[in-house]
Amino acid sequence: MPLRPWSPVPIHDCAEPLVPLPAELWRLEPHPYAALGAPYGDGGCPFRLRSGVVSRLLEAQRWLQENGDGYRLAIFDAWRPLAVQRFMVEHTIASECSQRAVDPHTPSPERDQVVEEVGRFWAPPSEDPATPPPHSTGAAVDLTLADNSGAVLAMGSEIDALGAVSEPDYYGKLANDLPDGEAKRQAALWHGRRNLLAEAMAAAGFCQHPNEWWHFSYGDQLWAWRSGAPQACYGRWTNALT
């Protein structure tokens, strides 16, 4: 998997703590990766982020409550240690290979294509502190919209879906190309919801992953690359930072 365009951004970690998400932020449980057996280890709760990122999430939720028909944020995934990143990359490659009847253990053009497609969405589990996966920093969050009862809204694709359908503006472009009718109306609805989520997060200073409507970050390399900041203030979280 190639390096990301944000990988050259320097990191000067501010040593801000990793803290649990407060009760005001709705968690989608059971956690999807923990349910698969991802190795979080003892006490490795995924629903944690840097304290400044948590504050901004609460700010995004307040904006959403005031401007988004009473919708709320629904947190799918947050902090992700390297062991979990490695597990999920391997799991996703194996799952895609299985769906396409490709042997995941034997080199082939078909396997290479799966690895390339997975690599557009899953960062490599780099051990290099200069190129941490975004979620390992405690600065990145995967989330969606829910109504006030906690029911998750349809957004046009599942979180972690591979392919163009997960790009933030996919349904906006599709709606422009469709003739008037139910399909156009549905595409416009999903585009509107994705835009609303992006607006709420942008209002709190987050930047969105270019390939994923659900992924936002503040303070990591991706955020610095998209915002034009000269450096990231969050690197890979380790116990040495406590």
Which residues on adjacent β-strands are paired with residue 73?
145
Asked if residue 212 lies in contact with residue 156, where contact means CB atoms within 8 angstroms, the answer is no
The residue annotated as part of the active site, out of 16, 96, 167, 212, is: 212
Residue 125 tokens read as 């589990």
| Alpha-carbon span 193 to 62, nearest angstrom | 17
Phi, then psi, of 30 in degrees rounded to 5: -65, 150
Does the annotation mark 212 as catalytic? yes
Radius of gyration for the alpha carbons in the chain, expressed in angstroms and rounded = 18
In 14-82, where do the E strands start and end?
18-20, 26-27, 48-50, 72-77
Which residues are tagged catalytic? 212
